[in-house]
């Protein structure tokens, strides 16, 4: 990622150790994680992934939309002003970036072209490597 010395500092979200522990525990479903941590973008993005994989496109869209809005809330709490880097390399940012990705994917699946373009730009502006990393399963 290139550094714009005149641009805003990267936004770095706080860690979510409880969320990560539940995600890693095979006894917890994505829905369990959402119920336990409803403000976590990562939890909502994982639930959106499950719905999409099951062919439930509208449910995936809805779950991703919630994760996206929870992510915007978290970014604002961290000082984000509506633009600027949200680096993939900072692991706690990955939930928000995954929520953007899952919403982009679901919007594309339902033909919401303007939203697809907006989200692709938002994701690329946040971190140009994020979509590639997510698509690769990282």
The answer to whether residue 67 scores a pLDDT higher than 60 is yes
Does residue 67 form part of some domain? yes
Q: In this structure, is residue 116 part of a structural domain? A: yes
pLDDT for residue 3: 61
Q: What is the mean pLDDT of residues 116-132?
A: 98
Residue 81 lies in a domain: yes
Residue 13 lies in a domain: no
Question: How many domains would you assign to the chain?
Answer: 1
Domain, as residue range, for 110: 39-135
Q: Is the pLDDT of residue 2 over 80?
A: no
Mean pLDDT, residues 62-80 taken together: 98
Full 3-state SS string of the chain: CCCCCCCCCCCCCCCCHHHHHHHHCCCCCHHHHHHHCCCCHHHHHHHHHHHHHCCCHHHHHHHHHHHHHHHHHHHHHCCCCCCCCCCCCCHHHHHHHHHHHHHHHHHHHCCCHHHHHHHHHHHHHHCCCHHHHHHCCC
Q: Is the pLDDT of residue 4 over 90?
A: no
Q: Mean pLDDT of all residues in the chain? A: 96
Q: Would 28 be classed as within a structural domain?
A: no
- Please check whether residue 129 lies inside any domain of the structure: yes
* pTM passes above 0.75: yes
């Amino acid at each position: 990622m290139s550094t714009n010395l005149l641009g805003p500092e990267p936004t770095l979200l706080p860690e979510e150790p409880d969320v990560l522990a539940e995600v890693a525990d095979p006894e917890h479903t994505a829905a369990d994680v959402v119920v336990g941590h409803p403000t976590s973008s990562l939890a909502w993005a994982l639930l959106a992934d499950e719905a999409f994989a099951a062919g439930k496109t509208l449910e995936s869209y809805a779950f991703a939309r919630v994760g996206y809005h929870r992510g915007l809330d978290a970014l604002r709490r961290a000082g984000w002003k509506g633009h600027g880097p949200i680096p993939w390399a900072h692991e706690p940012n990955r939930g928000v970036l995954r929520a953007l990705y899952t919403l982009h994917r679901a919007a594309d699946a339902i033909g919401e072209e303007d939203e697809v373009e907006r989200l692709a730009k938002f994701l690329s502006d946040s971190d140009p490597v994020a979509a590639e990393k997510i698509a690769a399963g990282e």
